[in-house]
C-alpha cells in the first residue's frame, strides 16, 4: 500500500452517525470503498495508518458557485442589499473566460478540500461568452469546472443550470446573456452533450422562478426526472421573489415549482428562506430537501430560513457555501442552529449530530452521491480527520466531541482528507495544489 492510499486506518475517535463519537475505530479500505469498520480497537495495529483526532465522513458542499470566491472582500463595502451585491457579482461574472474560470475553480475546490469538503454540487449558470454567443464547445465552462474539481481531488456534481430571463417579464441583459440558453430545449440540447467522466456526475438546476418561466421549469424537471438526476433550484431567497411570483402567477414560488412537477425526492430547494406553512407542506409532501447556506444568507441580508420547521416537517436538510463568503462547513452547520436561536430565543432546535448529518449524508444524497457521506462498509471511502490538539478544540472530551466539532471547529482544524481511499490533504496541506498561492494568482487576474 502506498502512503497516499492506506489499506487500513485507525481513528482515535470516529463519528459513525450516532449522537457520540466512538473511540478506537479501525477502518479497512478496499480500492475506493470502505470494506469494514471495527469499533473498540484501543490502539493502532502495526500495519494501520494512525489518524489522531476525530474522523468523520467527507463533508458535502451542496451549493457552490465557484467563481464567486473572487468576490470575497470586494463586496463588503458600502451599503445595500442582495440586489446591490448582485451587481458586484455580475461585474465578475462578465469578465471570466475559460482559462481564468479553470484556475479560480481549481483553487476554490482546493480550498474546499482543505476544509474537509469531499463532494461539491456546482450550480453552474455561466455558459456563454460575454455578450451571449456560445463557445465553440458550448459546454466549455461546465467542462473546466469538472476538470478543476478532478484536479483538486474532490467529487463534483455539475448542476447545469437553466437560466432564460432577467426576471419575471424581463429579457436577459448584460452579464445575464452569459447565463441564458434562450429556451429550455436549447438548454437540454447543450446539457445532453456533457460527458462528466470519473469522479463527476450530472444534475440539473432551475436557476429560480425569476429566471425560468413555469413551462420551461416543467421541461427541466421532466428532463432531470427522466435521467434520475438531482434537480436543484434557488427558492424564495428574497421577499421580492415571492412578491413578483404571486403578482405574476397568483402563487408562491414553491407552489409554482410543485405544479411544474419539480418537487420530488431528487429535488433540493436552495435557501428556502421565506416560506409559509403551505410551502413547507408542499416540500415535505414532495419528499424534497432544502439546502441552507447560512453564511451567504447572512452576508446578503436574506433572512433566517425556517430550518427547524422544515426539519420537523420531515424535509431533509443539507448545507452549501454558495457565494463563498467563507468556506467553512463547520461554520455553516452551526449557523443553522445559532441564527435560529437569535430569532426564537430558544436553544437546541438542531442537535450537533443532526447538523453533522446535514453536512455529510444529507449533502451527498442531495447532489447524487448517496453511497457517500457515511462511515459504513460498502460506502465510498471519503473521510475527514479533524485535529483536536489546536487551540479551538483542545480539551475536547470523547463524550462531547461531536458538539465541540460542530460548535467550535474551524476549517483550519482539518488535518487529513481522504477521497475514494486516497489522501488528498495530509497534515493540513493539499497534496496536489498550493491553494493559497493559486487563489491569489487567479483572483489577481480579475480587473480591480
Residues near Zn ion, by CB under 5 A: 322
Q: How far is CA 227 from the centre of its chain?
A: 21
Q: How far is the CB of 291 from Zn ion (least distance, A)?
A: 9
Q: Which is nearer to Zn ion, 273 or 385 (CB)?
A: 273
Judged by CB, which is closer to Zn ion: 9, or 70?
70
Query: CA 66, CA 96: separation in Å to the nearest integer?
Result: 12
Residue listed under C-alpha cell 469546472: 145
- Mapped onto helix, strand or coil, the DSSP state of residue 237 is coil
Tell me the closest approach of the beta carbon of residue 245 to Zn ion, in angstroms: 17
What number of CA atoms fall less than 13 Å from residue 317's CA on the CB side?
Answer: 31
**For Zn ion, which is the closer residue by CB, 156 or 419?**
156
CB of residue 403 to Zn ion, shortest distance in Å: 29
Q: Which of 65, 234, 271, 430 is an active site residue?
A: 271
C-alpha 422/C-alpha 254 separation (Å) is 41
β-bridge mates for residue 425, sequence order: 417, 430
The grid cell for 305 is: 430560513
In the annotation, is 322 catalytic?
A: yes
Work out how close the CB of 271 gets to Zn ion at its nearest, in angstroms, rounded to a whole number. 7
If the CB atoms of residues 220 and 352 are measured against Zn ion, the closer one turns out to be 220
Provide CB contacts within 8 A for 157, sequence distance 6+: 119, 120, 121, 122, 200, 201, 202, 203, 230, 367, 368, 369
Helices (H), 201-304: 214-227, 239-249, 253-259, 277-285, 294-299
Q: Which of 322/416 has CB closer to Zn ion?
A: 322
Q: Write out the E strands in 264-344.
A: 267-271, 289-292, 316-319
Identify each DSSP E strand in 150-208 by its residue range.
155-162, 200-206
The catalytically annotated residue of 181, 299, 302, 322 is 322
| Residue 310 beta carbon to Zn ion: minimum distance, rounded to whole angstroms | 18
Residue 294 beta carbon to Zn ion: minimum distance, rounded to whole angstroms: 13
Q: How far is the CB of 322 from Zn ion (least distance, A)?
A: 5
* 292: its cell numbers: 441552507
In terms of Cβ atoms closer than 10 Å to its own Cβ (0-12, 13-18, 19+), residue 10 is buried
Q: Which is nearer to Zn ion, 297 or 382 (CB)?
A: 297
Q: What are the distances in angstroms from CA 311 to CA 52, 256, 263, 292, 339?
A: 33, 22, 16, 12, 15
Around 158, how many Cα atoms within 13 Å sit in the side-chain half-sphere? 30
Helix (H) or strand (E) holding 333, with range, is: helix 329-344
By beta carbon distance, the residue nearest Zn ion is 322
Is 182 within 8 Å of 164 (Cβ atoms)?
yes
Name the strand (E) or helix (H) holding 343: helix 329-344
State which residue, 12 or 322, has the beta carbon closest to Zn ion.
322
| 99 flagged as catalytic | no
CA–CA gap between residue 224 and residue 202 (Å, rounded): 10
User: Rounded to 5 degrees, what are φ and ψ at 407?
Assistant: -95, -5
Minimum distance from CB of 11 to Zn ion (Å)? 34
Length of the chain: 448
- Residue 6 or 362 having the CB closest to Zn ion: 362
Residues recognised as catalytic = 271, 322
Amino acid at each position: 500500500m502506498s502512503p497516499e492510499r492506506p489499506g487500513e486506518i485507525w481513528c482515535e475517535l470516529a463519528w459513525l452517525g450516532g449522537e457520540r463519537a466512538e473511540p478506537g475505530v479501525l477502518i479497512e479500505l478496499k480500492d475506493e470503498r470502505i470494506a469494514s469498520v471495527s469499533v473498540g480497537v484501543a490502539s493502532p495495529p502495526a500495519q494501520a495508518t494512525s489518524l489522531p483526532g476525530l474522523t468523520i465522513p467527507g463533508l458535502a458542499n451542496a451549493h457552490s458557485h465557484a467563481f464567486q470566491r473572487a468576490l470575497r472582500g470586494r463586496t463588503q463595502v458600502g451599503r445595500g442589499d442582495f440586489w446591490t451585491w448582485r451587481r458586484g457579482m455580475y461585474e465578475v461574472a462578465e469578465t471570466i473566460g475559460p482559462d481564468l474560470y479553470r484556475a479560480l475553480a481549481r483553487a476554490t475546490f482546493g480550498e474546499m478540500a482543505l476544509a474537509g469538503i469531499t463532494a461539491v454540487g456546482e450550480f453552474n449558470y455561466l455558459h456563454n461568452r460575454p455578450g451571449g454567443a456560445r463557445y465553440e464547445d458550448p459546454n466549455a465552462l461546465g467542462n473546466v469546472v469538472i476538470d478543476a474539481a478532478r484536479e483538486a481531488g474532490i467529487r463534483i456534481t455539475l448542476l447545469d443550470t437553466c437560466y432564460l430571463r432577467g426576471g419575471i417579464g424581463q429579457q436577459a441583459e448584460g452579464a445575464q446573456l452569459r447565463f441564458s440558453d434562450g429556451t429550455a430545449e436549447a438548454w437540454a440540447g447543450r446539457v445532453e452533450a456533457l460527458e462528466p467522466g470519473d469522479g463527476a456526475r450530472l444534475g440539473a438546476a432551475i436557476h429560480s422562478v425569476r429566471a425560468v418561466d413555469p413551462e420551461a421549469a416543467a421541461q427541466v424537471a421532466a428532463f432531470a426526472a427522466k435521467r434520475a438526476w438531482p434537480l436543484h433550484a434557488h427558492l424564495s431567497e428574497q421577499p421580492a421573489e415571492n412578491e413578483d411570483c404571486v403578482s405574476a402567477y397568483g402563487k408562491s414560488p414553491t407552489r409554482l415549482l410543485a405544479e411544474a412537477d419539480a418537487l420530488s425526492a431528487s429535488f433540493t430547494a436552495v435557501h428556502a428562506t421565506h416560506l409559509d406553512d403551505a410551502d413547507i407542506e408542499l416540500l415535505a409532501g414532495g419528499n424534497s430537501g432544502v439546502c441552507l447556506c447560512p453564511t451567504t444568507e447572512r452576508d446578503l441580508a436574506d433572512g433566517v430560513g425556517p430550518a427547524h420547521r422544515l426539519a420537523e416537517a420531515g424535509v431533509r436538510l443539507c448545507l452549501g457555501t454558495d457565494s463563498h463568503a467563507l468556506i467553512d462547513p463547520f461554520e455553516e452547520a452551526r449557523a443553522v442552529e445559532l441564527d435560529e436561536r437569535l430569532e426564537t430565543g430558544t436553544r437546541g432546535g438542531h442537535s450537533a449530530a443532526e447538523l453533522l448529518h446535514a453536512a455529510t449524508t444529507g449533502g451527498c444524497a442531495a447532489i447524487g452521491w448517496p453511497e457517500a457521506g457515511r462511515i459504513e462498509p460498502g460506502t465510498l471511502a471519503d473521510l475527514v480527520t479533524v485535529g483536536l490538539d489546536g487551540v479551538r478544540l483542545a480539551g475536547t472530551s470523547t463524550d462531547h466531541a461531536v458538539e465541540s466539532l460542530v460548535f467550535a471547529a474551524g476549517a483550519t482544524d482539518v488535518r487529513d482528507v481522504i477521497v475514494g481511499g486516497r489522501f488528498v490533504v495530509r497534515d493540513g496541506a493539499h497534496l496536489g495544489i498550493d491553494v493559497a498561492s493559486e487563489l491569489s494568482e487567479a483572483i489577481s487576474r480579475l480587473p480591480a
